[in-house]
Amino acid sequence: MIKVAMKPSDEIEQPGIHPSKFVTWLLIVASVMLFASLTSAYIVRKGEGNWLLFDIPNVFAFSVVIAIIGSITMQLAYMMAKKDEIGKLKIFSLLTLIAGFGFVISQYLGWVALVNNNIHFVGNPSESFFYVISGVHLAHVIGGIIFVGVVTNNVFRYKVHKKNLLSINLCTTYWHFLGFTWIYLYFFLLLNR
């Protein structure tokens, strides 16, 4: 009789991707499809005519800079977690959270500038599309801020470190997606007015 040595059940390596990573990537793919459909509908509707050209307020360009800064601070937070530099991890996590709130404020100020320029949600289709596209992205950012807030809370409770990187890894992936998406959307809206 041949005996086979088995690992205890908690040491058996599971094939495939971690369920949380799978869900995160599924959410990202679904969001990509959503933004692709919105930008496709934008192009189709623009081609039908009756399209109002308007200048995009400069504050939206500033929000691109905030998105880039937030992505950098999130990446630095992740790198500090991998190195177990908890003090720096706390700082970069908080800076990412601040960048998220700064992004929300910049979007609000951009919408205020649009209203001041007589560009309203209900009006020409070009106006409506701008509000819908930027608003849907902002909803995703608010979800991202909640995610960063939860991770930051865990950082301060010493639950994020080099031996427990899953949550900050997922948060970093999603946060980079949000930043890249806003950069794409801003330039799409700027170049397709």
pLDDT by residue for the chain (193 residues), tens only, comes to 555 454 444 445 567 888 999 999 999 999 999 999 999 999 999 999 889 899 999 999 999 999 999 999 999 999 999 999 999 999 999 999 999 999 999 999 999 999 999 999 998 999 999 999 999 999 999 999 999 999 999 999 999 999 999 999 999 999 999 999 999 999 999 999 8
pLDDT the model gives residue 2: 53
pLDDT the model gives residue 157: 95
Place of tokens 């070009």: 126
Residue 39 has φ and ψ, to the nearest 5°, of: -70, -30
Cβ(57)–Cβ(114) below 8 Å: yes
- The sign of the CA dihedral 62, 66, 67, 69 is positive
pLDDT the model gives residue 164: 93
SS3 192: coil
Amino acid at 95: L
Distance CA 129, CA 24 (A): 27
pLDDT the model gives residue 50: 87
Q: CATH classification of 59-191 is 1.20.120.80, yes or no?
A: yes
pLDDT the model gives residue 3: 52
